[in-house]
Structure formats: structure tokens, C-alpha cells
């Protein structure tokens, strides 16, 4: 057999060995770069994970702070609510005490006015019939008209407003009873709507009503004449309209309401001005006195 190299065999020279080594080195460097890139990626992932963990921790702290704030706010709201409840209870107690006090005031005023009325009545009894006695009788009825206002307030749950409809009925019936006029001779009629008045207007209006009814009974039915007195009360356009009308002899043609010397008419004029009211008088068929009183609310 020949010792020469077969044509199928590859003969590597020094250059080939060097190139192979270089290829191995390049592959090693390339693998090292990939490993380095992988390490960088892993480090970036770890850094991102740390940042995310930090954000989660910050979020957790924020949630805990919010919960603390909510707990503090809840405590403050509960404390405020307790203070409001205590204040409301104190206010209710104060209002109750005030109502009791006002009720007692009206009760005492009514009692004092009744004492005054009784004193006047005692004086009336020792006087003979005449102008002096009649003047005291009228004075007594005016005192009783005011006393009746305070009695209504004492009985009412609203100590600032008088149930004037009930008052008007009671006052008119009281004036009729004290006048001595026979119910068969002169009848009393009502056309009254539910109306309430503040105290500062109720007292003057009560005195006006007293004077108007007294005036009708005194002058409208002379010589036993029979007839009717009608009391009307209604609310219209923010005003209370009070009217006392009769079918008696009417008013004198030459009567001047502004110049009349009658004490009753003077009081009516004065009281209507006091409550800023308008007074309208008609006397052709009987007599009619209509008072229009402005009220708030």
C-alpha cells in the first residue's frame, strides 16, 4: 500500500488551524456578549421589579394614610354629631322654657286685667246711671277685650299669633251679652274665615271690633227697633278685612268721621292708624264699617 495521502482526506495547514481558533474565539465573544445582554436584561427586570415594589409600597402607605384620615374624619364627624345633638336638645329645652314663660306671662296679664275689670265694676256699682257710669262701663269692656286676647294666647300653642277668628266670635258674643240687648230683638251673625294675627295687630283689631259692635248696639236700633249685626272676617290679598255691619237706622247724613267727638270713633281712627289699616264707612242702608289691615306672610 502506498503511504501517500488519499485525495478524499483534508489536509489542514497552520492557517486553517488559526482560522478555526479565531472562529471559536468569535463564537465565545459572541456568546459572552449575549450573556452580558441577558445579564443586563435580568438586571433591568430586577430594577423594574424593585421600582414596582417601591410603587406598591408607596401605594400601600397612601392607602394607609387615607384610612387614617378617614378614621380621624369619622371621629370628628361623630364628635360634631354629638355636639349638634346636645345643642339641639339644649335648644329644645330653651324653647320649651320660653313657651312656658310666655304662657305664664299671658296668663298673668289676663288675670291682672280681670282684676282691673273687677275694680272698675266695683266702682260702677256705686255710681248712679249717667255719663260717668257709662264711661266706666265702656272702659271695663275695653279692658276685657284685651284680656280675652291674652286668654286666647294662653290657650293657644302659638304664642306669637292670635287665632283671631275664634277671638272675634267670643268677643262679639261677650259684647252682646254685656249690652243687655235681647237676642230676639237684635241678632248676631257671623261670616268668619280662619285668620290668625300677630299680637301687635290683634290687640288693636280686637279693640276696633269691640268699639264697632258697641257702636252698632248703641245707635243702630233706637226705640226697640229690631235688626241684625253682622261680623265678617276674611283674608284677601295679604290683608285681613274686618267688617261690622247692621241694618239699623244708618248714619247721619252730615256725619264727619274725622271730626266726630265720639270717644269710640276717636279710638277707631287712632287704632286703624296704629295698624296702618284702611277704614271705609257706608251709612245709606244701615251702617257698615270695613277695616282692611295689612299683615305679613
Reduced 3-state DSSP string for 155-176? HCCCCCEEEHHHHHHHHHHHHH
Q: Residue 45 pLDDT > 90, yes or no?
A: no
Per-residue model confidence (pLDDT) at position 7: 47
Per-residue model confidence (pLDDT) at position 102: 65
Going by C-alpha positions, the residue among 113, 97, 193 that lies closest to residue 152 is 113
Pairing of strands 239-246, 287-294: antiparallel
Least confident of 126-140, 151-165, 209-223: 151-165
Share of the chain above pLDDT 90, in %: 14
Residue 292 contacts residue 272 (beta carbons within 8 Å): no
Per-residue model confidence (pLDDT) at position 101: 67
User: Packing angle between helix 199-219 and helix 131-155, nearest 10 degrees?
Assistant: 140
Per-residue model confidence (pLDDT) at position 230: 94
Average pLDDT over residues 33-61: 83
Per-residue model confidence (pLDDT) at position 37: 78
Going by C-alpha positions, the residue among 146, 147, 158 that lies closest to residue 110 is 147
- Dump pLDDT digits (tens) for 240-264: 999 999 999 888 877 777 777 678 8
- Spatial separation of the C-alpha atoms in residues 107 and 115, rounded to whole Å: 12
Number of C-beta neighbours around residue 11 at 10 A: 6
Radius of gyration (C-alpha) of the chain in whole angstroms = 52
Q: Residue 4 pLDDT > 60, yes or no?
A: no
Average pLDDT over all residues of the chain: 82
Per-residue model confidence (pLDDT) at position 188: 92
Q: Would you mind telling me the total number of residues written for the chain in this entry?
A: 297
Least confident of 63-72, 85-94, 229-238: 85-94
- Spatial separation of the C-alpha atoms in residues 120 and 111, rounded to whole Å: 14
Helices (H), the chain: 14-125, 131-155, 164-179, 199-219, 263-274
Least confident of 99-103, 129-133, 154-158, 275-279: 99-103
Per-residue model confidence (pLDDT) at position 1: 47
| 105 vs 74: which has the higher pLDDT | 74
pTM: 0.64
Q: Residue 9 pLDDT > 70, yes or no?
A: no
275 DSSP 8-state letter: T
Q: Residue 163 pLDDT > 50, yes or no?
A: yes
Average pLDDT over residues 264-284: 88
User: Packing angle between helix 263-274 and helix 199-219, nearest 10 degrees?
Assistant: 160
Q: What are phi and psi of 13, to 5 degrees?
A: -95, 180
Amino acid at each position: 500500500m502506498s503511504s501517500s495521502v488519499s485525495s478524499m482526506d483534508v489536509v489542514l495547514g497552520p492557517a486553517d488551524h488559526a482560522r478555526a481558533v479565531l472562529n471559536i474565539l468569535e463564537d465565545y465573544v459572541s456568546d459572552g456578549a449575549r450573556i452580558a445582554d441577558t445579564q443586563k436584561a435580568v438586571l433591568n427586570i430586577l430594577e423594574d421589579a424593585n421600582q414596582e415594589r417601591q410603587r406598591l409600597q408607596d401605594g400601600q402607605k397612601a392607602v394607609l394614610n387615607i384610612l387614617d384620615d378617614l378614621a380621624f374624619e369619622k371621629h370628628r364627624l361623630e364628635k360634631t354629631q354629638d355636639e349638634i345633638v346636645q345643642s339641639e336638645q339644649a335648644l329644645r329645652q330653651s324653647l320649651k322654657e320660653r313657651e312656658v314663660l310666655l304662657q305664664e306671662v299671658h296668663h298673668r296679664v289676663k288675670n291682672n286685667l280681670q282684676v282691673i275689670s273687677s275694680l272698675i265694676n266695683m266702682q260702677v256699682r256705686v255710681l248712679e246711671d249717667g255719663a260717668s257710669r257709662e264711661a266706666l262701663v265702656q272702659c271695663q269692656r275695653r279692658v276685657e277685650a284685651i284680656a280675652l286676647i291674652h286668654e286666647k294666647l294662653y290657650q293657644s300653642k302659638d304664642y306669637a299669633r292670635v287665632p283671631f277668628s275664634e277671638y272675634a266670635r267670643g268677643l262679639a258674643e261677650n259684647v252682646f251679652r254685656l249690652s243687655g240687648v235681647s237676642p230676639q230683638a237684635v241678632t248676631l251673625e257671623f261670616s268668619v274665615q280662619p285668620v290668625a294675627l300677630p299680637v301687635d295687630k290683634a290687640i288693636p283689631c280686637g279693640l276696633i271690633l269691640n268699639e264697632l259692635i258697641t257702636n252698632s248696639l248703641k245707635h243702630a236700633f233706637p226705640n226697640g227697633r229690631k235688626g241684625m249685626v253682622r261680623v265678617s272676617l276674611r283674608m284677601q290679598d295679604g290683608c285681613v278685612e274686618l267688617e261690622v255691619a247692621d241694618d239699623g237706622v244708618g248714619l247721619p247724613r252730615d256725619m264727619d268721621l274725622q271730626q266726630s267727638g265720639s270717644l269710640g270713633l276717636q279710638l277707631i281712627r287712632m287704632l286703624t292708624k296704629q295698624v296702618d289699616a284702611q277704614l271705609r264707612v257706608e251709612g245709606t242702608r244701615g251702617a257698615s264699617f270695613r277695616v282692611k289691615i295689612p299683615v305679613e306672610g
